[in-house]
Amino acid sequence: MHTKKYDMIALGRACIDLNAVEYNRPMEDTMTFSKYVGGSPANIAIGSAKLGLNVGFIGKIPDDQHGRFIEQYMATAGIDTSQMIIDQDGHKTGLAFTEILSPEECSILMYREQVADLYLSPDEISEDYLKESRSLVISGTALSQSPSREATLKAVALARKNNVKIVFELDYRPYTWKNKDETAIYYSLVAQQSDIVIGTRDEYDMMENLEKGTNEATVAHLFNHHPELVVIKHGVEGSYAYTKEGNTYRGKSYKTKVLKTFGAGDSYAAAFLYALNSGKGIETALKYGSASAAIVVSQHSSSEAMPTAVEIEALIKEQDLN
């Protein structure tokens, strides 16, 4: 039995987050920002590596200072960066400036025009590399524009062919998509071919092109296709996991002192997948996801704040007793 080199390979955007250092004020009045690596798949990769998984990454970064910062940071986090392709056409890194007005009011000002990560092309996807992993994590944003869209679809096809589990983190960002129909088409296409789908109720509504869908209808539809496990997050109400065999699990959300709202989804996915990968079962995986999200929203950054397993377990233990 050939053991795989990687537990997970994440594919998609790695960019720069510039988070307001000054809280409770509008961006207009904010003078200082801290620089972190950001982007959903990069954050998931960093969070998973921090928890001890062997992680690889496929993406495109610019041939400049920001690109070098991203590659060095991720390599230092223990991620294999051999498939981080250096863009040769002058595309830049995506930038996200964050404003922390209050714990409830956080906004993100995005610079996503002509960004390097959306120029990953199909010929830059290596089948030999994908074969070395137990799972491939796709984020929805990678599907929003060509050629990244075709590169992602190629990676999905190669993963299917080589029995690599596909995890689809819906990661819906309106600013990269042309319209709702386009989003629904590509999200559905990839969700139907995935093994595990993770997203918020709102993201599933985007995928199904509905105003207000129901979990029952969503899972009934997806279980006609490839998925074995569907996770639907409902914010403070907690999250639900549905299995093809017909089991439903509910995970509560953990209390925390919220500083900002961004980064929660990525930390949730990283810890959830880590727990599943470690054989802890779906119920425990939901707890890990929720606890990890609670820790990250109480901290300043997304990637840097990714918790260790010890921190996650401490929070679960403390709050499960009460």
The model's confidence at residue 214, banded by pLDDT at 50, 70 and 90, is: very high
Looking at the structure of the chain, the number of domains it has is 1
CA dist list (Å): 261 to 43, 106, 170, 299: 15, 6, 17, 10
Q: What is the mean pLDDT of the chain?
A: 96
Average pLDDT over residues 57-86: 98
Does residue 108 sit within a domain?
A: no
Does residue 101 sit within a domain?
A: no
User: Residue 257: which CATH number?
Assistant: 3.40.1190.20
Does residue 283 sit within a domain?
A: yes
Altogether, the residues listed in the chain come to a count of: 322
Does residue 76 sit within a domain?
A: yes
The model's confidence at residue 133, banded by pLDDT at 50, 70 and 90, is: very high
The model's confidence at residue 236, banded by pLDDT at 50, 70 and 90, is: confident
Among residues of the chain, what percentage have pLDDT more than 70?
Answer: 99
Q: Which domain holds residue 284?
A: 8-14+39-92+113-321
Does residue 97 sit within a domain?
A: no
- Least confident piece of the model among 111-120, 156-165, 296-305: 296-305
The model's confidence at residue 259, banded by pLDDT at 50, 70 and 90, is: confident
Does residue 73 sit within a domain?
A: yes
The model's confidence at residue 261, banded by pLDDT at 50, 70 and 90, is: confident
Does residue 285 sit within a domain?
A: yes
Reported pTM: 0.97
Does residue 249 sit within a domain?
A: yes
State yes or no: pLDDT of 187 exceeds 80: yes
Contacts (Cβ under 8 Å, ≥6 apart) of 48: 7, 8, 10, 55, 270, 273, 274
